Structure 1
Amino acid sequence: MSKNNNRGRGEARESASRTNGTIRCAIYTRKSTDEGLEQEFNSLDAQRESAEAYIASQRHEGWVCIPDRFDDGGFTGGNMERPALKRLFAGIESGDIDCVVVYKVDRLSRSLLDFARMMELFDKHAVSFVSVTQQFNTTSSMGRLTLNILLSFAQFEREIISERTRDKMSAARRKGKWVGGMPVLGYDVDPKGGKLIVNEDEAAQVRGMYQLYLEHRAMIPVVQEIDRRGWQTKRWTTKKGQDRGGKPFSKSSLFRLLTNVIYTGKVDYKGTIYNGEHSEIVDIDLWQRVQDALRRNGSTGGKEVRNKYGALLKGLLYCAPCGTGMVHTYTAKDNGKRYRYYVCLNAQQRGWASCPTKSLNAHEIETAVVGHIRSIGRNEEIISATAAKVREESGKRMAELETEQRGHERELKRLHTGVQKLVGESFTAVSNGGAAMDQLADLQDRIRTIEQRMTAIREEVIAIQRETVDEGDMARALAVFDPVWESLSPREQTRIVRLLVERVGYDGRDGRVTVTFRSPGVKALCSEADIRNREVSA
């Protein structure tokens, strides 16, 4: 969003300058060494003279040379840490420059990655770029074609760096090396060598959990005993100084710990086990006995199961006091009849005493939600209030997306700065496999991930703006829902509810049910209502 605004301002400046009949040209010159700069007429002067002559030849087009000099003597073209270059960027961003002229492209940069970044800046502010000796001019179609070719090579270069990094990490995994990621309880990461070293206090806790499971043969008693002892998940601090982990264990986190082969001194890479460089915490015999016990008990560690019995609110219902989802389950009686329930995930994983809601009859809550939706469709005041609430939720989501967008923009700026600092080092390190190359590839992957997320944010914002609902939308959607509900198949009923409802909250303390509607679903049902009405009219 901000990029489009910046581009708009840049085009406005370009339009204003061309309307005045002038194109303000800045000449950038560079020399890698200090040698000869003390001479009265040096290499920088020669570059500037050629550029001035070219600008003079375009005087009939309104080109004028601004008096400011942007000379970097004694600076490499392998990075962007150059004082005159930074002043040039500042002039571009302030709207004082319409065109940048250099003697040769490599005077501006010797790095395709840096050059691509510069072209993005130029394009954002509608600034043209000209290379005097190479007939490179982005004001012409041929110049823009050349630019696109160069940018394609830059993208290819970034992908090659990423592939090289992934190959290196795969090779390291096969050799049993620790290649980063979320630390696990029982080990610390050596800040010097990056290897895993045993944390004896935490290792004793890990071994204790394995023994507890063999003793109880069930997850809930072990989780409760771990809570009583005050043991928590791995706590660590990120490079940004943020604290992570240090939370109570649940069934899922305990299952992951009990099934992690890393505790036997090995590493798992794509399903293949390799000997690791780190020491074991749990001997292989104890680890295998725990795996056998888990298989006999049929533990899934909380993995998702199919919606086998057509639970209407599966994935929509959550426990309001705990803030966690409620999962669908059932009990079978001797007569073969099944009784369906929704169970609070917190209660299921940490024991019944941890939740005031615990379990809920599935048929009763599903009937209550359907009845609630029907009652809304019969009352205009409720329809109006519900539509207003839906708009309010959409507004909250818009605000969240805008906040996230601003955060990503700041992070992108920081990452681009990191790329600029590393790129010079990385190009010299290609031949000897330097660490800077790996760091650069990591930065490029993170940049690509953030840019993809920003694109998704923009698409979601457009969708929300397009799907904003009013009272008429809500009335038409509910008009589809009420009359035909009983005639729908269970699968079709589930589809309609998922279209219309975003989430259902239940509070076991007072039996209160809250239903949150989805704007896109309301719009979709409106379309169905319109189609139905046209069919009836025909």
Structure 2
Amino acid sequence: MADELNNIRMIALYCRVSTDEQAREGISLHEQQERLKAYCRAMGWHTEVTIYVDDGYSAKNIERPKLNELIRAVKNGEVSQVMVTKLDRISRKLLDLLNLIDLFQEHNVSFISISESFDTNTPSGRLTLQVLGAVAEFERERIRERVFENMYHAATTGKWLTQSPYGYNLVDKELVFDEKEAEVVKRVFNLYLEKGLGYYAIAKQLNEEGIPSKYKKDWSIRAVKLMLTNPVYKGTFVWNRKDSSKKKRTDKKNDEWIVIDDCLPVIIDKEEWEDAQKRVNAKQIAPRAKTSPHLLGGILKCGKCGASMSIGWSGSKNNRYRVYRCSANKNKGTCTSKQYRANEVEDWFKQGLVQLFEFSTNQTKTTLVEQVLQSQKKDAEQAVQNAKARYKRKVEAYTAGLIELEDLNEEKVKMEKIINNAKRDDDKKEINIERLEKQLQKHIQNILQSLDALSIPDAKAFLQTIIEKVILISEGELEIEFHRI
């Protein structure tokens, strides 16, 4: 019985009057309290009532002492009903009112306004609430439209309305270089692309050197990844990328983004930034494979089944040696590939690189041409798709009156140029074999030099920036596949 009494929730009577309403008839604090009490008696409610009074406070916002106290009581589960004489007693702003009603419903609290016969526990009250919700949704959409227009205009004029990213400072709503931070940005991209370090290794190095982040916090994996994927560093403004309407933020579709190129100060050139995105989006190598003492850990594949070659040790207690073994054979028994001594496989790999460097075969040329043609076709298709999406957004902006016809026509010309270039390149399909061979030889030379000069972990990190995978076909026979040149 005691527990039941403790669980009984009170009825909250909320009364408010501002200074300029004191003399008006029918809305004095005393009048409001008497009408609310009389309503409770008429309904036969004998539950304890608690009166919350805000004397001399406007309804322009919800920052009122007693209203905040009432909200805390609702959140603590102490209230069953909230009553007011009129809706405008609790708020004159529809959005504030609906937010409060949402809070009440979340905690199973009904809301009653006796003048409007509004009770969220009744069908008519819920219908009224739905109508109010539709009006509020319309108002929210209008607010979003205005924000969208302001952000779009700000972007086209080079204005930056949020916090400045690392590498920049904000001066009169414009991004300007922070020279010291900009050098750190360049270094992070260099560590990632040239040295082959991962997010964790970069964050660890920056923290060990005492280099602070933007707001003096330690660097994290997330912070490094966000830097490497932020298009601001190549001079591109991107807005409307995230959907924040739900608790968990998600990416919107590409054609909903507002993307304006070449409107911000550039720290990283476009080619380097795009190279970083290719590595970010590539299949990641397991952390254990990165830190193992095996040079080809993480990139060596079985020539019989295509599975990864796992790394380990074999031999007797006094004669242990490193080995590569097909993981499908080791874990499932589904492959008949044998294990190979790691030192021998790594020697075959180095010999293969030397042969590639010294000799250029017709097969190498054919493979290179096929890879580059496929890469060029994919890039051209993506460029056309992006151009059409940008033009579509400009049409929508023109329809909404945000840009002039001249701007729309200019975007159309750009789109047609990209489409024509893609078609012309597809017709030509000309590949400079000599240039490609030189690039390949440069890659191989860099690898051979790194194998001689660097430690195994550093050499592996560098290796993985250039080589996609190595396929172990049989004794002394390997295939080496490079990342796109």
TM-score (norm 2): 0.46
* Larger RCO, structures 1/2 (Cα 8 Å, 6+ apart): 1
